[in-house]
Amino acid sequence: MPIKYFFLIWILAIIEGRAAETGYTVYIHATSRMMIPYAQAVFWDSV
């Protein structure tokens, strides 16, 4: 199970959280909502 995909999802979550604090919530939220399912799909396909 490649850990790098877990860290990718984790980093995206941190970026989204910090963006919420700085006011870029909508853009980052939309971007992460597109990226996280893709990252999870790649993650589960590689397990």
pTM: 0.34
Q: How many domains is the chain built from? A: 1
CB of 29 closer than 8 Å to CB of 16: yes
Q: pLDDT tens digits, residue range 6-46?
A: 777 777 777 766 666 665 555 656 666 667 777 777 777 76
Contact 19, 28 (CB under 8 A): yes
pLDDT of residue 1 exceeding 60, the answer is no
The number of helix segments (H) and strand segments (E) in the chain equals: 2, 0
